[in-house]
Amino acid sequence: MSTVVDERLRRLRSELDDHSRIADHLGLDLERPLRSLNDGYPENAVALVGKLTEKLLKELWRHHNIEGDPTTKALNDLVKRCRPHIRSSTVMDALDDIRRLRNRSTHDGYDISDEDGLLAVRRLVDVLVWFTNTGSTALLGGEPDVAPEVARRCEFLAGLYVTLGYRQAKRFVLSPDTVYQLFCRESGMRFEYVELMLSQEADELSTVLATTGGELLRTRLPKLTRFVVLEDDNGSAASGALHDLLGLDFRIVRYDGFVETLINLDTHIGAISSSVGHVEPHVAVSAAVLSTDPHTGESRMAESEDAAELLTRLARGSANVLVTGRSGSGKSTLLRSLASNPGTRRFRFYFDLGLKPKDEPFSEYAGRLLAPSMESDRSCAYDLFLYLIRSGTALCILDAVDEGVEESSPAGFLRLFADLAAVLSAESAVVMSSRVSFLADSPQVRQLLDSRAGRSEQLVEQMYANGVDPARVPHFHLVRLAEPDATPLEKRLTASLALPPGQPLADILGAHIAQTLAAHGRTGIEERMTASFGHAFLTDQTVFSLLDLHRALGMSAFTGGRLAFDACVFLPLLRQAGSDQVAFVHTAYQALLAARYLAEAEHRDTAADVPGGAFITEQVRAFLAGLPGSPATDDCVLPAGTYLVGPAERLLLRRVPRSVRFDRDAVTVARYRRFLEALNSDGTSPWDHPDQPANVTHHPWTDRLREAGYYTDARFDAYPAVCVNWWSAYAFAAFEGKRLPTSLEWEAAARGTDGRLFPWGDAPDAALVNCADSWVGHSVVTYQAWYEDFAGDAVRRAWVTPATERPGNRSPFGVVDMVGNCWEWTSTSLGDPGEAVICGGSYDNPMRAVQVSSKGIYRKRGGSNAVGFRCVEDVTATEETTV
């Protein structure tokens, strides 16, 4: 063994000696891993460190009365279950390293080096340091001569200073209610000391000090700060006597206010109101809570009269909450009020993720925002925040979480949750807000946000791949704000702008922009604002410097020739996002400008070329759907061009390279019967796909049909051809000189150029579509509601209906019945060539699942009563010039 390793072993042996009290209390042989290293067996040292760590965690398990028997648990399980009770991120990192090294050492073929063994012992020391320096009774044993509450508070205060880089130098128990603590750290060439005395009341501490003539704290060490921390100090005579006894060198602080000596949370919370141009008054907003039964996994909806009262109640408990609602519904106002309410939680933090740069980790963003509120040690801002969050006494509000993702997709949210894992897995309450219904409606993300719901193996693998331990993601209550005729934002702007009631949000925001510019005689820059800020939104830029405004709009955007925030002509539309940066006071303003930008075909082409894809939110799509668009046609021709496609969580701009003409209706039984008459005797045809497997016949799967005479009885002639596999649909299309559409072509033809949710528009209408809602007679919201209301009698009655029965279910290009009734085959395959994409939903899906973006995967050999198809043909060059 090298001299360097010998020296490190010697230092580790010395450091382990400092934790003899824990070793004696738990019967640990801390010397044994060092002996294995010294003998040249680092793999044994790693294994022994793992066993010692297991003993420590089992004691921690018992101390906190965690449910279950720890004696049968392995290291991985012990770390997962004890995690909520460990406030130190350093300890958690150390435990993760020990677990990683122990797992490696058990794998055959992995060579454990001396360096691995030394690292394992070093990380064990880090774990021991925390519990020794904080005086934690969890591992050190109880102190019967100290009241449990005093011991708990001493541990909490010690943890604060250990987090800031101090170590506990001395600790004396002076009485059952009074403890003395001295902390020390190196700062350059000198040592810094912090001295604390903690007691329940001034009378008690005065009595203790009087026995020593007040000399106990009068040491000659150069103290950085001297504190007397009392549970209660109301300026009593005893407190005044304590001041006389101690002199002027000490600060007497109430326990509840001690954290303010390190970080001024009032300054942090006070920045909330200063970051916006106005503070909206409280408006009562009703809300509904969607929570999951921990035993059955069923989702239940419970009504509440007022969202503010509901959120306050949930935040005061241990619940984590996700608040969703459309733009202007008052989410941010509710969350700011919650953060500003001192009765909610002892420590409160508020972060607007809409202002966080996408490439900045949350730890850096939070540390940057909290640093100005630190009394000292600004570099430790995030560590201190994380300590308070882990303490279980804090409230962390993450506003606009949907704007903090790099992309609105399951993978994007998983990456964000991985970045927030330390916060989301803490014992404190976390309240998030989002306008993206995906967070509420996606089964995968509902499972992600609900640790007690069953998770698919695929989701678990995704979580691990993105650095998220599924066991660390807590249960979230979903609070949906009601959608009244007018949101608080709409009501406020309607009143201030003197507009008639009932205007769409886009019209209200547009009027506000126009009136603001007109007040300064700058109406001419509105078009440039659309071009500049609309395009910027699509590139995910929502924060601008004053210089950015000048580059985009020139000095006409300012008054008096001054490049200053208060000189901007559209100041009422902005809020400060930094010393020289601004953002729109509500992102809906910039979303409207982005929608106006996309309303032009050439701009959609430009946006389609944005590197990495344009950033399009559901709000942009909704605004675009409400703007005047291209006139509807009836020739069933989808023109070549750029179209908005995808579900709410993953909206994209994609080009359709050439014009295609769709069948107006799905292929019917009558049409398919003519194809059947042209088949070969073995059920194949001259139009078969070259890769068609053997033994595939184009005869429908009659044994699966709900009606045995479906393809022979003339009364079903107008019904869609179902129970037809993909290979048959392909051959039929070739038989008619056509082809199957791609999934992109299908969706573009269904939703038009404005990105609508349904072929007829954005408003759901059960009268226009054959779906589960129309069979049960009301909206089906949750899976449990579908199971109870549809899966019984309704599912026996529900089936496909004639393809021409609902003419109102018509796309902007005249294509009929594209959503509901039956899924439709496309030519698109994803990964597995034996599967193809189906579009549109069917009669047994709820309304929310039969939107134009609804897609599924079905095996090509499959045949179902719920799957049909329609064909397309390419438009010739001559025809295209007339389109």
**Fold classification of 660-879 (topology level):** paralog of FGE (formylglycine-generating enzyme) (3.90.1580)
Q: Are 233 and 241 in contact (CB under 8 A)?
A: no
Residue 582 structure tokens: 């601004």
Average pLDDT for 351-370: 89
Q: What pLDDT is attached to residue 227?
A: 81
Q: What is the pLDDT of residue 410?
A: 67
Q: Are 659 and 873 in contact (CB under 8 A)?
A: no
pLDDT value for 277: 42
CA 844, 848, 853, 854: dihedral to nearest 10 degrees?
A: -30
CA distance 116 to 99: 12
For the segment 136-170, what is each residue's pLDDT rounded down to a tens digit?
888 887 766 788 888 888 888 999 999 988 888 88
Domain boundaries, the chain: 3-139, 148-261, 265-481, 488-623, 660-879
Q: Which fold has domain 148-261?
A: Trna Endonuclease; Chain: A, domain 1 (3.40.1350)
Q: Where is average pLDDT lowest: 30-34, 595-599, 807-811? A: 30-34
CA angle, 549 then 550 then 553, to 5°: 80
Q: How is 532-580 classified by DSSP, letter by letter?
A: IIIHHHHTT---EEHHHHHHHHGGGGBSTT--SGGGBTTGGGEEE-SSS
> What per-residue confidence (pLDDT) applies to 823?
96
Tokens of 295: 């035993």
Instruction: Please check the confidence at residue 592 and state whether its pLDDT lies above 90.
Output: yes
Helices (H), 479-627: 488-496, 505-518, 526-529, 535-538, 546-553, 587-598, 601-608, 618-626
The predicted structure's pLDDT at residue 629: 75
Laid out side by side, the sheet with 544-545 consists of 544-545, 581-584, 574-576
Answer for the pair 315, 429: CB distance below 8 angstroms, yes or no: yes
Instruction: Give the pLDDT score at 278.
Output: 45
Give the pLDDT confidence of 444-489 residue by residue, as tens digits: 455 545 544 444 444 455 555 555 555 555 567 778 787 667 777 8
Q: Work out the mean pLDDT of the chain and round it to a whole number.
A: 84
Confidence grade of residue 715 (pLDDT, cut at 50, 70, 90) = very high
For the record, the structure tokens of 86 come out as: 């460990």
Per-residue pLDDT at 680? 92
Please report the pLDDT score of residue 453 as a whole number.
Answer: 41
pLDDT confidence tier of residue 751, bands split at 50, 70 and 90? very high
Distance CA 606, CA 330 (A): 34
Q: Note the pLDDT of residue 674.
A: 95
Q: Looking up tokens 């005249």, which residue turns up?
A: 814
**Cα–Cα dist 710/673, whole Å:** 11
Distance set, CA 448 to CA 392, 458, 510 (Å): 22, 12, 38
pLDDT at site 506: 93
Q: How confident is the model at residue 814 (pLDDT cuts 50, 70, 90)?
A: very high
Write out pLDDT tens, residues 839-875. Answer: 999 998 888 889 999 999 999 999 999 999 999 999 9
- Checking if the pLDDT of 534 tops 90, the result is yes
What is this structure's pTM? 0.72
**Cross-strand bridge partners of residue 668:** 720
pLDDT at 442 over 70: no
Tokens linked to 397: 């509000």
Weakest mean pLDDT among 136-140, 208-212, 416-420, 601-605: 208-212
pLDDT digit string (tens) for 48-78?
Answer: 999 999 999 999 999 888 888 998 888 888 9
- Output the pLDDT for position 108: 52
Query: Is residue 511 scored above 70 in pLDDT?
Result: yes
CA distance 330 to 334: 6
- Confidence (pLDDT) at 452: 41
Structure tokens at 846: 């709820």
pLDDT value, residue 279 = 46
Do 3-139 and 660-879 agree at the fold level? no
| Tens digit of each residue's pLDDT (9 = 90 or more) over 234-273 | 555 555 666 666 665 677 888 888 888 888 888 888 876 5
Distance, CA of 212 to CA of 232 (rounded, Å): 23
652 burial type by CB count under 10 A (0-12 exposed, 13-18 middle, 19+ buried)? middle
Provide the pLDDT for residue 195. Answer: 85
Helix 114-133 × helix 42-63 angle, to 10°: 20
Token digits of residue 154: 């001493």
Rounded Cα distance between 8 and 19, Å, is: 17
What would the two tokens of residue 803 be?
């393809």
Tokens of 275: 């970051």
Whole-number Å distance between alpha carbons of 318 and 395:
10
Q: Between these two residues, 330 and 523, which has the higher pLDDT value?
A: 523
Which CATH code is given to the segment(s) 3-139? 1.20.120
Select the more confidently predicted residue: 444 or 832: 832
Give the tens place of pLDDT for each residue, 649-704.
788 999 999 999 999 999 999 999 999 999 998 889 999 999 999 989 999 988 88
**CATH class, range 265-481:** alpha beta
